[in-house]
């Protein structure tokens, strides 16, 4: 029993390094495995690495200004202190269909996904979804859950007098340092993905976009999946299948935004999106000329472990 007491004390000592805060976005109390300043530092540290892993940044000044304006406007409608985060929005020079975010406000969308979209509201939808992950602090939430599970495993092993492989505990330790890419291996639950969709719709509506754009984004993903399978649809490795999301998003719109469904072409800004984004993007790389990692949805380096910072949601039906 003495060993069990010591284990509890050690776990408690590890957990009190964080703390509980009220998240104004989710309107819930949340355990902070790492502080907001640490989230910001991690995002800033790993932003350049993510850009390198995904083919570099589309540096066209017009595209940069356009996406910054949309993303910044959406982020300005987040809750609490989140509008003051150092938000940055990057279009990646990658043909892989993907989008993700790092803790602290670094948001990425691939050129491959942007080319599939038809209007600005769909772009606002994907940016809003990733902003939702950041504002809900989903990465921090998952890190805290990991610590609790790892601590319980440690306590059980000590109480039973057994030795366990330390892989789980090592992974949780890596959450704090991103050693070996552990932080970017965070898994999001279906409820967190759904929450990010709902938050994206919330921020779109506040910013003056027709929230039907979120439904349009889901259909873009569905069409891409049907055309090419999941090989270049990297976003499917980290998000629920679009069929399930279409049902849930449609339910939210029917309940909260029936007028949007009744006028699906209003406030979607298709002409501006084509002028400011599609006409400026470089042409898609022919399949025969793509490097091998593009054919498998980026199988090398951190790119294989990070997508939309919610790896592990895996391809699954509702």
Asked if 163 and 157 touch (Cβ cutoff 8 Å), the reply is yes
What is the spatial distance between Cα 178 and Cα 1, in angstroms, rounded to a whole number?
34
Neighbours of 120 (CB within 10 A): 23
Please name the helix (run of DSSP H) or strand (run of DSSP E) that holds residue 99, with its range, or none. Answer: strand 99-102
C-alpha torsion sign, points 153, 155, 159, 162: positive
**What is the end-to-end Cα distance of the chain in Å, rounded?**
44
pLDDT in tens, 197-251: 999 999 999 999 999 999 999 999 888 877 765 444 444 444 556 678 899 999 9
Confidence label for 23 from pLDDT (cuts 50, 70 and 90): confident
Confidence (pLDDT) at 27:
83
Poorest-confidence range of 65-69, 190-194, 256-260? 190-194
Strands of 106-234, DSSP E: 106-110
- Which residue is it, tokens 């400026």? 280
311 backbone φψ class: left, alpha, beta (φ>0; ψ -120 to 50): beta
Q: 88, 120, 130, 195: which is the annotated catalytic residue? A: 130
Is 197 catalytic? The answer is yes
- Which residue is it, tokens 């043909």? 95
What is the spatial distance between Cα 244 and Cα 129, in angstroms, rounded to a whole number?
16
Cα 235 from chain centroid (whole Å): 10
pTM for the whole thing?
0.74
Quick one: DSSP state of residue 56? -
Confidence (pLDDT) at 145:
52
Q: How do strand 106-110 and strand 88-92 relate by DSSP bridges?
A: parallel
Confidence (pLDDT) at 264:
94
What is the spatial distance between Cα 22 and Cα 26, in angstroms, rounded to a whole number?
9
Q: How do strand 99-102 and strand 28-32 relate by DSSP bridges?
A: unpaired
Answer yes or no: is pLDDT of 317 > 80: no
Q: 32, 197, 267, 293: which is the annotated catalytic residue? A: 197
142 backbone φψ class: left, alpha, beta (φ>0; ψ -120 to 50): alpha
Poorest-confidence range of 6-10, 145-149, 187-191? 6-10
More confident residue, 94 or 308: 94
Closest CA to 102 of 155, 44, 60, 51: 44
């Amino acid at each position: 029993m003495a060993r069990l007491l010591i284990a509890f004390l050690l776990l408690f000592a590890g957990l009190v390094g964080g703390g509980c805060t009220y998240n104004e976005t989710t309107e819930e109390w949340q355990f902070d495995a790492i502080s907001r300043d640490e989230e910001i530092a991690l995002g800033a540290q790993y932003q350049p690495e993510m850009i390198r892993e995904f083919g570099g940044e589309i540096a066209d000044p017009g595209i940069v200004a356009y996406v910054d304006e949309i993303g910044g406007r959406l982020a300005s409608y987040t809750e609490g202190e989140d509008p003051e985060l150092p938000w940055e929005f990057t279009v990646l020079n990658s043909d892989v269909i993907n989008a993700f975010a790092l803790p602290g406000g670094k948001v990425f969308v691939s050129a491959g996904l942007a080319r599939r979209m038809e209007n600005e509201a769909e772009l606002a939808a994907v940016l809003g979804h990733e902003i939702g992950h950041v504002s809900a602090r989903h990465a921090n939430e998952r890190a805290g859950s990991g610590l609790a599970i790892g601590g319980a495993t440690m306590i059980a092993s000590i109480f039973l007098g057994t030795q366990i492989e330390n892989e789980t505990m090592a992974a949780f330790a890596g959450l704090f340092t991103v050693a070996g890419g552990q932080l970017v291996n965070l898994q999001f639950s279906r409820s967190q993905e759904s929450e990010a969709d709902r938050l994206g719709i919330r921020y779109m509506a506040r910013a003056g976009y027709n929230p039907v754009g979120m439904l349009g984004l889901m259909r873009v993903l569905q069409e891409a999946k049907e055309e090419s399978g999941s090989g270049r649809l990297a976003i499917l490795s980290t998000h629920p299948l679009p069929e399930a999301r279409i049902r849930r998003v449609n339910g939210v719109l029917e309940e909260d935004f029936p007028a949007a469904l009744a006028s699906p072409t209003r406030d979607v800004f298709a002409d501006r999106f084509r002028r400011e984004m599609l006409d400026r993007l470089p042409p898609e790389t022919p399949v025969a000329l793509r490097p091998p990692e593009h054919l498998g949805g980026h199988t090398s380096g951190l790119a294989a472990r990070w997508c939309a910072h919610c790896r592990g949601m895996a391809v699954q039906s509702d």
